[in-house]
Structure formats: structure tokens, C-alpha cells
Amino acid sequence: MFRPEYSRLIASLPATVPFVAPDVLERISGRGISLRLGANESAFGISPQAQFAILQAIGRISWYGDPESFRLREKLAHMHRVAMGNLVIGSGIDDLLGLVVRAFVEQGTSVVTSLGSYPTFSYHVAGYGGALHFVPYRDYRNDLSGLAVAAIETGARLIYLANPDNPTGSWHGAGCLDTFLHEVPNNCVVLLDEAYGEFLLPEDVLPIIPEDPRVIRLRTFSKAHGMAGARIGYGIAAAEAITAFSKVRVQFGVNSLAQAGALASLDDSRFIASVITAVAEGRDEYYVLGQKLGMPALRSATNFVALDTGSASKAQYIKDSLLQRGVFVRVPGTAPLDQLIRVTVGTPGERTAFAEALRDLAEYLCLPGSEAPNSIESDSHGPGLRGSS
Ligand SMILES: *Cc1c(COP(=O)(O)O)cnc(C)c1O
């Protein structure tokens, strides 16, 4: 029987996925998920204008989309005050991560990231044969000096940093990032994953210097814009980097409906502002809930909050028990982050249902505050917060 010969790299890789999707979890467990709070999808839907634009675009679905995403890049260039040649569009950050890694990483190339950070980056590095070097989090935050030192020590060509971070929700402001860029060796590219960039305060966002060859930033329409299923995101980088990406990117890889929706969503800044406000309210509610139940919340600049259960076994137990009740949350896979449960900010109704489910469990686990239902809204939040910037 003929056995095809796979590349040595592919043959050497274990069959893994970066993380198991909720739909897959449903199939494995044979149980429906009624509260989908584990994938940081937006609970607040998409802009009505974006929805209308997508419906209109269906009329042209038999045509290939614009491989240059011209109109979208034009709008983004204007918005970020960069040239169109500083922008690349991809089918989400996950796609763009693969493109950036492909452009810089070959067999044995050193790459640095945090231990337990967003796993799709490492997945791509493994897929191109790079040598990953991990730096532990420090107090549930990316250790910027540690990352810079590791880059020097390993001769890294690329550092990956999610800011704001997933899975902790923590962030570093513009000042810290500027210091970090001075510490990073000159020949090392910093890949900034800003999937949650919209949730940062403007003063915390690192200024964009379009021709800085060392910084590549990735943004997405999956989170604040609520278009995760549409698969669209973009990268901002020096023109030379964009040219490099264009040598190998999938030219027709971005869905035309997604292009139309993204374009319209950028025009609906009022809608996005309302999402950001609603998410901030929900985060505050989770902070108070965590405090009540003895699971301190980490301060977050994202659309999710990580609650610290105090031990990995407790976090696993809570996650599994919640899943049995149809509630999907995530627990990071790597110690010491594996004692966190990461929960997406839902709608007010979803948050109430989540709080009830968690309180029931907390009662069972004999955690403090669990016998005091209906008290989440009535408390202030001050102590009990951890992490932060
Ligand atoms: C959600 C998320 C992504 C995925 O973005 P897509 O554009 O949907 O691929 C990337 N990075 C981080 C840190 C995320 O949390």
C-alpha cells in the first residue's frame, strides 16, 4: 500500500489543536451549551449597519472578493493615519499570526513569548519549525523585561505579546511598552496582538509609528465588532513587511461578506462605543461576584474576566461542573494560570445566569459568600481585585 511521505517537520509534529472549540465540546460531551462564555465572543452582536451591509453583499457572493481589500484598507489607513501600504487584511488574527510567523520563522529560528499566552501563536511557530522560548508570567502579567532579556539571550527574531493579554486580561500601558521596545534587541520584531485593543483606554494604546520596522500590530473584528464567525482582521506594519506578507498570503482568503461587514462596522463608532460601555459594566459585575465568592478577579482590559480560584484542581472542578450545567468557560492549560477560570462578559441576563450557576457551585465547595444570593449588585468593588496595570 502506498504511504505518502509527509515533510519531516509535519511528520514530527503531534496532532494538536490550540484549543477545543465550544461546538466540538458540545459534540464530545453530547451536552448542549446554553451559556457560551468561554471563547470571548461578543455577547452584544454586530452593528445593525454591518448586518445590513453583509445582507447586501450576499447579492454579489458568486464573485470573488477584492484580493486587495482596497476599500477596507483605505478606511483603516485613514483611521490609523498610516498608508494603505502599511496594512494587510487576513481572515482573522489567527490567519495573520501564521503569515507573520511564516515570514520570519524557519527551522530553528528563536522566538520568545509568555508561558501560557494565546496558544495559536505557538501553534504556528511549531508548524514552521521555530524554537519557542517561554517566559513565565509575573503576577499574572506579561513580564516585559523578562521577555526582552530572553530575546537577547536566545537571539530571538520575533517576540509575541498579546496586549491586552489573553488569558489574564491584564495590560501594559504605552509607557511600559515604550520602555520594553528600548530593551528589546534592535534586530528583533515585536508582534503585538491587539485583539482587545478597542477595550483599552486611548492613553494606554502605544502610538502607531507606521514605518517602525520592529513593531507589527494585529487587530480583529472578532471581539468588539462582534464578527468572530466572519473571520476578518488586519495587520499594521512597515511597508516592507506588508510586501513580504503579500509574497505568500492567500490572495482571495478574505471573505467578501466579511469585508463588507467590517467596512460598515468601522463607520458605526456609536455601536462600538456602546459595546465597550456594556462590557465595562459586565466586568465590574464579575469583579464583585469574584470578590463575594472568594475568587478574586484580575483587572481586565478585555471582554472577559479571569477569576482566581486558588488552585488548579478547583478551577478544573468548577469548569467541568459548569459544563455539566451547560455553561462553557475556559481554564488556561499552563501553570500557574491554570487556577484561573476565564469567563466572557455576557449580556446582563447571561451574567445573572452565570452568577447563579457559580454561586450554586461555590455553595457546594463551601466558598465564602455563597449563601448570600442577590447581593452582587449591592456591593462595591475595591479589595479583591488582583493583577491590573
Ligand atoms: C480572540 C483572539 C484572537 C483571535 O482573533 P481572530 O481574529 O478571531 O482570529 C487572537 N488573539 C487573541 C489574543 C485573542 O484573544
Question: What is the pLDDT confidence band of residue 86, given thresholds at 50, 70 and 90?
Answer: very high
pLDDT in tens, 95-146: 999 999 999 999 999 999 999 999 999 999 999 999 999 999 999 999 999 9
What confidence score (pLDDT) does residue 29 get?
Answer: 82
Amino acid 377: pLDDT: 37
Does pLDDT of 37 surpass 70? yes
Protein residue whose Cα sits closest to atom 12 of ligand 1: 195
pLDDT of 369? 55
Distance (Å, whole) CA 290 – CA 271: 29
- The fold adopted by the segment(s) 16-44+271-381 is Aspartate Aminotransferase, domain 1 (3.90.1150)
- The rounded Å distance from CA 218 to ligand 1 centre is 9
Report how far ligand 1's centroid is from the alpha carbon of 195 (Å): 5
CA distance 176 to 174: 6
Mean pLDDT of 275-281: 98
Mean pLDDT of the chain: 93
Is the pTM of the predicted complex or chain greater than 0.85?
yes
Q: Measured between alpha carbons, how far is residue 149 from residues 5, 140, 153, 159, 389 in Å? A: 40, 18, 6, 11, 21
pLDDT band at 388 (very low <50, low <70, confident <90, very high): very low
Q: Looking at ligand 1, which atom is closest to the CA of residue 39?
A: 1
Question: What percent of the chain lies above the pLDDT cut of 90?
Answer: 87
**Sequential DSSP letters for 316-341:** HHHHHHHHHTTEE-B--SSTTGGGEE
* Ligand 1 centroid, distance to 333 Cα (angstroms): 17
Q: Compute the distance from residue 383 Cα to the ligand 1 centre, in Å.
A: 30
Q: According to the model, what pLDDT value does residue 330 have? A: 96
Helices (H), the chain: 8-12, 22-29, 48-57, 70-80, 93-104, 119-127, 144-154, 174-183, 239-246, 256-267, 269-292, 312-324, 348-364
pLDDT at 275 over 80: yes
For the chain, domain boundaries: 16-44+271-381, 48-267
Tell me, in angstroms, the distance from the centre of ligand 1 to residue 173's CA. 20
**What tens digit of pLDDT does each residue of 156-200 get?**
999 999 999 999 999 999 999 999 999 999 999 999 999 999 999
User: How many H-runs (helices) and E-runs (strands) does the chain carry?
Assistant: 13, 13
Can you give the pLDDT at residue 367? 63
> CB of 82 closer than 6 A to ligand 1?
no
Please indicate whether residue 215, judged by its CB atom, sits closer than 6 Å to ligand 1. no
Task: Say yes or no: CB of residue 92 within 6 Å of ligand 1.
Answer: yes
CATH code given to domain 48-267: 3.40.640.10
Single-letter code of the amino acid located at 185: P
The predicted structure's pLDDT at residue 130: 98
pLDDT tens sequence across 43-58: 999 999 999 999 999 9
